[in-house]
């Protein structure tokens, strides 16, 4: 089964993936913060009974049934938020088997519906989320105010309750040192640019998350159009910067060296891997290297620390994991 994070979608040289998240609450229950475990579980089952009949691909997973390793691996795959791993009681996840739909129950809101797609696919992701949202609305009393829109526990989500985001690979703009200027520009336009794992996370491997900030007094369509239009400009800037950088022999050399290290190293930390694979990704996009992008996408997810442990059902030391990571890179890249 090919996961969304492995495929290469539209504008996949810069846009790794798209995510649309809708925050919803059910009127019959107070907000999550005020719900005890028992009522949370009651609510989980109610939502499960709406979603599971929609498609056989959905599974219902109680968070307390998962090991820490499994939970952190889910964060690494962007299926759940880091916060969602901390207090498992009364929390459950509805996950599609190709992992493109992930519904966190009792995270900050009763329902955090997320749809992920490869590449630049805001409309597709939104439509898929919207269809599931319509099912929820038809079967449950979703908290909605005619004037404000969807009611959410945190005011920053009030209105559309929608956060749409694009995972962008911006190695050339990072190299040119223009990201902080870009961040300040997009913030004036109602967007934010952050590390790959959201607020306060670093831009490991030159991967950034561009998302809308405004949910109130704006329609979903307007928010998506705004995000798409700014994203297109950033994509173009990144492509121009890459073209410029690849005129530089030292930069081209650094791409080949990264490839050589990945193919031969016997130990590799996740941070170094992310940094080197970023260069390899640019090399592929500029026709310098010939590596299957799906392989790169797969490694980028499968070599995250907890995902390695989860796959091997082991609790490796960091040193052992670095050796396993290096071995799996060599196997994938033919070192």
Binding site for a copy of itself (CB under 8 A): 249-250, 252-253, 256-257, 259-267, 319, 323, 326, 335
Please give the DSSP secondary-structure letter assigned to residue 32: G
Cβ closer to a copy of itself: 74 or 261? 261
Beta strands in 78-233 (DSSP E): 92-96, 101-105, 111-118, 144-145, 149-150, 162-169, 191-195, 207-212
Q: Which is nearer to a copy of itself, 191 or 326 (CB)?
A: 326
CB of 256 to a copy of itself, least distance (A): 4
Please give the structure tokens belonging to residue 197.
């794992």
Q: Which residues contact 306 (CB under 8 A, 6 or more apart)?
A: 68, 69, 70, 71, 72, 73, 75, 76
Q: Which is nearer to a copy of itself, 97 or 253 (CB)?
A: 253
Of 80 and 333, CB closest to a copy of itself:
333
What is the tally of helices (H) and strands (E) in the chain? 11, 10
C-beta of 276: minimal distance to a copy of itself in Å? 11
List the structure tokens of 218: 């704006």
Spatial separation of the C-alpha atoms in residues 255 and 270, rounded to whole Å: 18
Which residue, 131 or 266, is less far from a copy of itself as judged by CB?
Answer: 266
Q: At its nearest, how many Å lie between a copy of itself and the CB of residue 260?
A: 3
Minimum separation from the CB atom of position 291 to a copy of itself (A): 12
* CA–CA distance, 322 with 264 (Å, rounded to integer): 13
Closer of 28 and 253 to a copy of itself (Cβ): 253
Beta-bridge partners for 163: 21
Report the C-alpha gap between 17 and 14 in whole angstroms. 9
Give the span between the Cα atoms of 231 and 235, in whole angstroms. Answer: 6
Nearer to a copy of itself, 207 or 276 (CB): 276
CA 88, 21, 110, 104 torsion-angle sign:
negative
Work out how close the CB of 265 gets to a copy of itself at its nearest, in angstroms, rounded to a whole number. Answer: 5
326, 272 in Cβ contact below 8 A?
Answer: no
Min CB(272)–a copy of itself separation in Å: 11
CB of 171 to a copy of itself, least distance (A): 18
């Amino acid at each position: 089964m090919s996961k969304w994070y492995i495929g290469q979608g539209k504008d996949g040289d810069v846009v790794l993936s798209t995510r649309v998240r809708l925050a919803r609450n059910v009127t019959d229950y107070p907000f999550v913060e005020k719900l005890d475990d028992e009522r949370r579980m009651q609510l989980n089952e109610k939502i499960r009974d709406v979603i599971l009949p929609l498609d056989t691909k959905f599974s219902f997973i109680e968070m307390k049934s998962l090991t820490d390793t499994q939970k952190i691996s889910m964060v690494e795959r962007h299926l759940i938020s880091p916060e969602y791993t901390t207090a498992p009681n009364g929390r459950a996840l509805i996950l599609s088997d190709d992992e493109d739909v992930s519904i966190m129950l009792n995270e900050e809101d009763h329902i955090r519906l997320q749809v992920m797609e490869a590449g630049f696919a805001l409309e597709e992701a939104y439509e898929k989320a919207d269809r599931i949202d319509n099912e929820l609305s038809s079967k449950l009393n979703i908290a909605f105010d005619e004037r404000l829109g969807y009611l959410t526990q945190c005011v920053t989500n009030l209105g559309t309750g929608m956060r749409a985001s694009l995972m962008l690979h911006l190695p050339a703009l990072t190299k040119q040192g223009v990201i902080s200027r870009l961040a300040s520009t997009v913030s004036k336009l109602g967007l934010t640019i952050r590390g790959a794992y959201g607020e306060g996370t670093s831009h490991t491997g030159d991967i950034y998350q561009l998302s809308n900030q405004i949910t109130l007094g704006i329609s979903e369509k307007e928010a998506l159009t705004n995000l798409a239009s700014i994203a297109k400009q950033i994509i173009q800037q990144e492509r121009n910067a890459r073209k410029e950088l690849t005129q530089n022999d030292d930069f081209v050399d650094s791409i080949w060296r990264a490839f050589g290290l990945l193919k031969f190293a016997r130990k590799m930390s996740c941070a170094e891997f992310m940094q080197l694979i970023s260069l390899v990704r640019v090399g592929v996009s500029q026709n310098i290297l010939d590596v299957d992008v799906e392989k790169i996408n797969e490694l980028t997810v499968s070599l995250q620390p907890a995902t390695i442990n989860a796959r091997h059902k082991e609790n490796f030391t960091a040193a052992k994991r670095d050796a396993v990571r290096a071995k799996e890179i060599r196997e994938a890249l033919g070192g």
